[in-house]
């Protein structure tokens, strides 16, 4: 039974870095059958895929074009988790952020974290 547990602050000041972590149980971050994603949701922009990391002989990362310059997704094999860092945030980055597993045979997201509301405000 796979579960994802998110952690991180709910309030970030403008121009600072948003950092979230997603702990994995029931799977491993280095699995060849899974990819580990961040998705966010806001009333104005809906659901947006942000980026992913996954291991297929070596580590790969992909990012959505609109956020690529500000974002990093990193695996941590020692803690079986992965993280999101979003730099230079503005109020438009206020959203619920989800960590999500994508399972290779289904070709899509199948397990979601509980979501973290992150507000960007001074």
If one asks whether residue 10 binds other proteins (CB under 8 A), the answer comes out as no
Give the nearest distance from C-beta 59 to other proteins in angstroms: 16
* Only segment of 14-22, 71-79, 87-95, 101-109 that touches other proteins (CB under 8 A): 101-109
Binding-site member from 98, 116, 118, 120 for other proteins (CB under 8 A): 98
Is-contact 66 59, C-beta < 8 A? no
**Of 64, 72, 74, 80, which one interacts with other proteins (CB under 8 A)?**
64
Rg (Cα) of the chain, in Å, rounded?
14
> Which of 1, 46, 58, 122 lies at the binding interface for other proteins (CB under 8 A)?
46
Question: Least CB distance from residue 69 to other proteins, whole Å?
Answer: 15
Burial of 106 (0-12, 13-18, 19+ CB in 10 A): exposed
Q: Does 28 bind other proteins (CB under 8 A)?
A: no
Q: Which residues bind other proteins (CB under 8 A)?
A: 46-49, 62, 64-65, 98, 102, 106-110, 112-115
């Amino acid at each position: 039974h796979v579960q994802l547990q998110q952690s991180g602050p709910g309030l970030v000041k403008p121009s600072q870095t948003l950092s979230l972590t997603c702990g994995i149980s029931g799977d491993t971050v280095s699995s060849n059958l899974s990819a580990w994603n961040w998705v966010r949701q806001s009333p104005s922009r809906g659901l947006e895929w942000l980026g992913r990391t996954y291991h297929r002989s070596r580590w790969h990362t992909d990012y959505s074009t609109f956020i690529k310059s500000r974002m990093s997704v990193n695996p941590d094999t020692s803690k079986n988790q992965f993280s999101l860092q979003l730099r230079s945030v503005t109020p438009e980055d206020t959203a619920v952020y989800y960590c999500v597993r994508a399972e290779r045979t289904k070709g899509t997201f199948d397990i979601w974290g509980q979501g973290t509301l992150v507000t960007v405000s001074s």
